[in-house]
Structure 1
Amino acid sequence: MDKQREFVLRTIEERGVKFIRLWFTDVVGTLKMVAVAPAEIEGAFAEGLGIDGSSIQGYTRAYEADVLAHPDPTTFQILPWRGEIDPTARMFCDIHTPDGEPAMSDPRYVLKRTLQRAADRGFTFYTHPEIEFYLLKSGEYGPEGPVPVDKAGYFDNVPGGTAHDFRRRAVRMLEDLGISVEFSHHEGGPGQNEIDLRYADALSTADNLMTFRTVVKEVAIEQGVYATFMPKPFAGHPGSGMHTHMSLFEGDTNAFFDQSQTYQLSTVGRQFVAGLLTHAPEITAITNQFVNSYKRLWGGHEAPSYLTWGHNNRSALVRVPLYKPGKGQAARIEYRAMDSAANPYLAYAVLLAAGLKGIEEGYELPAEAEDTVWELSSQERKALGYKPLPSSLDHALNLMENSELVAETLGEQVFQHVLKNKRLEWEQYRAQVTPYEIEANLGLL
């Protein structure tokens, strides 16, 4: 038996684990779970656990319902919030069809397949996300909307504040789960927080993000507050993004590093950035998948809205930081559009695919944006050639629908389901009469 499987079985016995939650993700990025008893795990390792895929968003059609969940023993962790009463562990699963093939509808497999494309070119893809979210007094809200837990701002130290205790508890729990945290602090909005995970390979990062969301929700419940990853819960305050730092390595060498080039960004790195800028419009329906996502992108408060790159320019879509000049391992680029409600498996897959396309086709990187893009007039932006990201989910879906890159990366089944699911969301949103319309028009018309 595989050593990792042996370790899992031995740990279950030694720690008295009573339940094992098998985790997987639907196409929208919602975490799914089935709990099994310890006696079932050896069989699940050997043969998989049968589940009904037809009741999971985007997995199967009704007439081909059965799929098998195969737990990945490398992801085994005991869940710290369950305590010592009935200890509970979790493992992420890979979804297979009954004939043993990977299920094309499994978001984890979509990312694995894209990572393999990179590996075939000699690259390993590393990611480092900065995750923003809001803490609210409750998940309920009245006429005034949701109520944040504080009125603090960026990097504020709030003695005795809820956010301090929350972040301390959440970071400790993440560390207990083997997820390394680099920074945590209060963000710009009232009740808004940010926790940054240490860089890891993209598959581990995506698994860690699914765990992260669960931890944040659990700690919030424990502390009597509510955590939301909604991209823009407040019109007058910043949205919650998930800026992600990315790099490609060839073995132990950072392929993005070249000390002789501007900002020490290599030709490969420049081509990768050019790929992101070229394909950003068509991948935005994946990196920003909700109607509300576009309120963040186009609602001000420093969200990137135009296809630009820069060095210290935080208005750019892609930033090339230079934190440690001359240190090759630290070379990376930062993609700033993605929000923290994205499905990380699909989002990292399309970002990597866009960057690889730039490398494969030898894309030329345009001139960097030295101006603060938000402060320019529309005529100035047009003169400089700064093209916009999609302005709505509908706009983003129209661009994605015609994208060969997204269709190839997601595979036909996931591609079609995302289009169908998100078109329905847009239609439901479009049919709403909003408070803004009532306030602006009812007394006037």
Structure 2
Amino acid sequence: MTITDPHITPAVQDDPAVEAIRRRTDSQGTNLAEVFRSRIASELEDNTALDRHREANTDNDTVAELKEKIERSGVEYMYYMVPTLRSRTVAKVVPAKHFVRNLEKGVNFTRNALMDFQNDIHGNPIGANINSKEFVAMPEADSFDQLPWDESIGRIFCSTYEPGHLGGIAGRPNVHDSRAHMKRTHSLLKDVFGLTMKSGTEPEMVWVGESITPKTIPGYNPAYQVEYLEGMRPIYKRIHEYADALGFEMIEGDYEDRGQIELNWNFDDIENTTDRLVTYRQICSQVAREFDVEASFMPKPFIGEMGAGCHHNISLWDEAGTNTFEDEGVQELHLSQLGRWAVGGILKNSPAMMLIFASTVNSYKRFWDPGQFAPARADWGLDDRASMIRISSNGRAEVRVPDASVNPYLSHALLTAAVADGIGNQVEPPEAGAQGIDLPRTLGEAVEVFRNDEFVRTALPPELADTFLEMKDNEWAQYCGVLTQWEFDQYWQAIP
């Protein structure tokens, strides 16, 4: 990969998307990637953020619109939800009649909730302790939905802030809020570069239960077989039913391996895609309860079978609604100049991003199982499933490393920052199909790369990066201290 001069090279100035970036660079008088990074840091120090959210929530039209939705739905209780760093969701349940009060005051959470109350191997809380102050979660009125499996329950996503009584940090964004940070980085991509990121994810998962156990043929992969898909028919129909009720546009699905299915919905702005992925996981958990089966998003449950990935198909759109990843009138498979710079930025920063894309010990088992379509190098190709980034069709780049356990807010925040780096610095990737550098192959390796990387320290709030690093370093330490059956098989009677 090469990084060129910060001024746009003449050879590509006739490209409308590149020309638009050049004009923005000239107007700023500096590298747009630097503007983007500095803006991220400054917005984390905005003491007026909580007040502005409260003001928006208490607008008369906002209150009236939410009131009408709640009354029309018949919802009696509401979950005020916040995603955690480990990609779970915490919530408080409040009678729906109190929504006006909550729009103004929010709901308070113990700070450890965003870290799932995780302790280290010595029993000490990670990221917060018993003396840590609560944070306030402010609901986002436009995220209200009624749960289709119990129409008396509604849910609403929240963004979190430091309370007004906490001195110098009062009113600032909570630095551990991954969802809010993703929204912040995307807003800056629009403002600084004039680009909107859209994505579609491909969540794969495994279902296990007596009623759905497939009878497969040894030596054959059951992928795409109608018979196996038929065995999952009651489950995928119920998932579609709930997803449609929650505003998804379900488009296609298939059977991938033993008990594994992938159901997809249409791509959208990353704010919508990430919330839908989190919601999809909750839908699957509910459907599993209804059918008395288990639903797992474990990345690699079985050796010799497909892992559960969650490919991110991304594209960048300009203010006129044009997809900047493709050149107008070009039919053959390709990637535009702006797209190549974006890919260059992702490849350049991919080793450090692996701790987010593949965030568990189990995640890395995907990369040690040959022939299972899991990339292990930082490379890209044209419709090449061996590559980390596959240009599967004109106008989109499929990032194939993220797995089923990914925190989509963190992954999309880093992808946003990486394309900003790539475009701002004109990072030219290697030729399509060229072999790239090796990516970390264990969680321990990913921890060390993340620990020493400057990019993640500017793309994420430093405190969030430190806490996530501590959580994952601790997870690796826990794993290293576990005895496995493999060790007994290898060493129990190895000598003499």
Please give the TM-score of this superposition, normalised by the length of structure 1.
Answer: 0.88
CA distance in 1, matches of 2:301, 2:464: 28
- The alpha carbon displacement at 1:54 in A equals 3.2
Q: Per-residue displacement from partner, 1:301-343 (whole Å, max 9, x unpaired)?
A: 11111111111211110011226xxxxxxx1111000001011
What is residue 433 of structure 1 aligned with on the other side? 483
What is residue 354 of structure 1 aligned with on the other side? 418
- The alpha carbon displacement at 1:432 in A equals 1.3
Between the aligned residues of both structures, percent identity stands at 28
Note the 1:106-185 alignment, pairs <5 A. Answer: 106-120=177-191, 121-137=193-209, 149-151=213-215, 153-158=222-227, 161-185=230-254
Contact 1:285/1:397 (8 A) holds in 2: yes
Q: 1:306 aligns with which of 359, 377, 384?
A: 377
Q: 1:217 aligns with which of 269, 285, 296?
A: 285
Q: 2:162 aligns with which of 80, 97, 109?
A: 97
Tell me whether 1:280 sits opposite 2:345 in the alignment. Answer: no
- The alpha carbon displacement at 1:365 in A equals 1.8
Note the 1:337-348 alignment, pairs <5 A. Answer: 337-348=401-412
Tell me whether 1:7 sits opposite 2:65 in the alignment. Answer: yes
Contact 2:342/2:422 (8 A) holds in 1: yes
CA distance in 1, matches of 2:61, 2:231: 43
- The alpha carbon displacement at 1:56 in A equals 3.6
- The alpha carbon displacement at 1:21 in A equals 0.7
Select between 160-169 and 44-53 the one with higher mean Cα deviation.
Answer: 160-169
CA distance in 2, matches of 1:398, 1:174: 39
CA distance in 2, matches of 1:97, 1:2: 25
Contact 2:309/2:401 (8 A) holds in 1: yes
CA distance in 2, matches of 1:231, 1:208: 19
- The alpha carbon displacement at 1:429 in A equals 0.4
CA distance in 2, matches of 1:59, 1:11: 37
Question: Do the aligned partners of residues 316 and 418 (structure 1) sit closer, same or farther apart at CA in structure 2, a change above 3 Å counting?
Answer: same
Q: 1:227 aligns with which of 278, 283, 295?
A: 295
What is residue 293 of structure 1 aligned with on the other side? 363
The residue identity in structure 2 corresponding to 1:119 is K
SS in 1 for 2:135: strand
Question: Do the aligned partners of residues 55 and 118 (structure 1) sit closer, same or farther apart at CA in structure 2, a change above 3 Å counting?
Answer: closer
SS in 2 for 1:33: strand
What is the total number of aligned residue pairs between the two structures? 412
Tell me whether 1:72 sits opposite 2:140 in the alignment. Answer: yes
- The alpha carbon displacement at 1:61 in A equals 4.9
Contact 1:60/1:105 (8 A) holds in 2: no
CA distance in 2, matches of 1:318, 1:56: 31
Q: Per-residue displacement from partner, 1:4-36 (whole Å, max 9, x unpaired)?
A: 432221222233211011111111111111110
Tell me whether 1:191 sits opposite 2:259 in the alignment. Answer: yes
CA distance in 2, matches of 1:279, 1:148: 41
What is residue 389 of structure 1 aligned with on the other side? 439
Q: Name structure 1 gaps, 5 residues minimum.
A: 139-146, 324-330, 370-383
Tell me whether 1:200 sits opposite 2:258 in the alignment. Answer: no
Q: Per-residue displacement from partner, 1:404-424 (whole Å, max 9, x unpaired)?
A: 111112211110111110011
Q: Per-residue displacement from partner, 1:102-160 (whole Å, max 9, x unpaired)?
A: 2111111210121122112111110100110000128xxxxxxxx97324521111278
The residue identity in structure 2 corresponding to 1:222 is E
CA distance in 1, matches of 2:198, 2:158: 21
Select between 434-443 and 105-114 the one with higher mean Cα deviation.
Answer: 434-443
- The alpha carbon displacement at 1:263 in A equals 2.9
What is residue 373 of structure 1 aligned with on the other side? none
CA distance in 2, matches of 1:46, 1:233: 45
Contact 1:259/1:265 (8 A) holds in 2: no
The residue identity in structure 2 corresponding to 1:431 is G
What is residue 372 of structure 1 aligned with on the other side? none
Higher relative contact order (CA 8 A, sep 6+): 2
- The alpha carbon displacement at 1:385 in A equals 4.6
Give the number of the structure whose alpha-carbon radius of gyration is greater. 2
SS in 2 for 1:316: coil
Question: Do the aligned partners of residues 363 and 172 (structure 1) sit closer, same or farther apart at CA in structure 2, a change above 3 Å counting?
Answer: same
- The alpha carbon displacement at 1:101 in A equals 2.2
Q: 1:38 aligns with which of 75, 96, 102?
A: 96
Q: Name structure 2 gaps, 5 residues minimum.
A: 1-58, 116-125, 165-170, 217-221
CA distance in 2, matches of 1:237, 1:398: 29
The residue identity in structure 2 corresponding to 1:310 is G
Q: 2:470 aligns with which of 420, 441, 444?
A: 420
Select between 151-160 and 166-175 the one with higher mean Cα deviation.
Answer: 151-160
Contact 2:214/2:228 (8 A) holds in 1: no
Q: 1:18 aligns with which of 72, 76, 81?
A: 76
SS in 2 for 1:63: coil
Contact 2:81/2:155 (8 A) holds in 1: yes
CA distance in 1, matches of 2:486, 2:153: 47
Question: Do the aligned partners of residues 159 and 428 (structure 1) sit closer, same or farther apart at CA in structure 2, a change above 3 Å counting?
Answer: closer
CA distance in 1, matches of 2:458, 2:228: 51
Q: 2:311 aligns with which of 240, 243, 248?
A: 243
Select between 270-279 and 57-66 the one with higher mean Cα deviation.
Answer: 57-66
Question: Do the aligned partners of residues 429 and 264 (structure 1) sit closer, same or farther apart at CA in structure 2, a change above 3 Å counting?
Answer: same
- Superposed CA RMSD in Å reads 1.9
